[in-house]
Structure 1
């Protein structure tokens, strides 16, 4: 398995996996949390990577991406500076429970350290449907900080 930062040549494959992630969340919760639009996801992923707004570290099995973590840089007073947000994190089901997610998180943490970020934050999918996901992050050093993920749709 190889882990590396992707460039614009891999954005379509990452977008497909991001759509797999959103579809899995919808299927497991029975709630349509997202509007799934593959062509839009592909265009946005390409745009964000090209503009340097989105850093994606992927796990490659040969030439195939089997997992990825997408990061954005944020700033806040409470974090005392810059930090990273893991916007999406996904490993294909056939590749789970093989330490690929753990290794991918290790690469993401190393990337965050090189960027000088103070911390990494993420939001998990809903529980109890994704209790295993929460346990995975906790086993890899993340801690629950409380609260809820909320949104306000504009326009």
Structure 2
């Protein structure tokens, strides 16, 4: 494995993030045997572009320095809650291509997100893991990067607006 560099997303990489989001969601749905997400590549690409350009969503990408290939990303947005004493960061997606896992790529992405959190003045980052037990390794990964369990499972309801 060669050296990895972390860089903020640029406008020519929206399609790359969209593709990796599809890989992440497919991996989750395959593991839990449930169609939990409705992934449409062009809509995902449009959404990431709009959110990034509106300065509401930040993405850091992992690039293999020797090949120039993007091998992972982490995204962050600002959240608010009374329990957190104000604004904090939420990580909705972190993905590392399977061939690059266990090579510290995810940890480098988390460090970039933490550095960004300091810059934003946030005092915490939160993340929800995919379902357990299928993603127990994911939980252990976050714990090994100093995340602590702070609540229960993430739940959702679809709203037909």
Contact 1:7 1:49 in 2 (8 A): no
Cα RMSD for the two superposed structures: 1.0
Q: Deviations over 1:25-67 (max 9, x none)?
A: 0111111111121111111111111111110011011432111
Unaligned segments of structure 1, at least 5 residues: none
State the partner residue of 1:94. Answer: 99
Residue of structure 2 equivalent to 1:150: 155
| TM-score, normalization by structure 1 | 0.96
Instruction: Give the structure-2-normalised TM-score.
Output: 0.93
Task: Detail structure 1 runs of 4+ shifted over 2 Å in the superposition.
Answer: none
User: 1:61 and 2:64 equivalent?
Assistant: yes
Deviation at 1:139, TM superposition (A): 0.6
Q: CA deviation at 1:153?
A: 1.0
In 2, are the aligned partners of 1:84 and 1:117 still within 8 Å (CA)? yes
Give the Cα–Cα distance (whole angstroms) in 2 for the partners of residues 50 and 109 of structure 1. Answer: 21
What is the aligned residue count?
155
Instruction: Show structure 2 runs of 5+ residues with no match.
Output: none
The correspondence of residues 19-98 of structure 1 with structure 2, limited to 5 A, is 19-62=22-65, 63-98=68-103
1:10 Cα deviation (Å)? 1.0
Of 101, 105, 114, the match for 2:119: 114
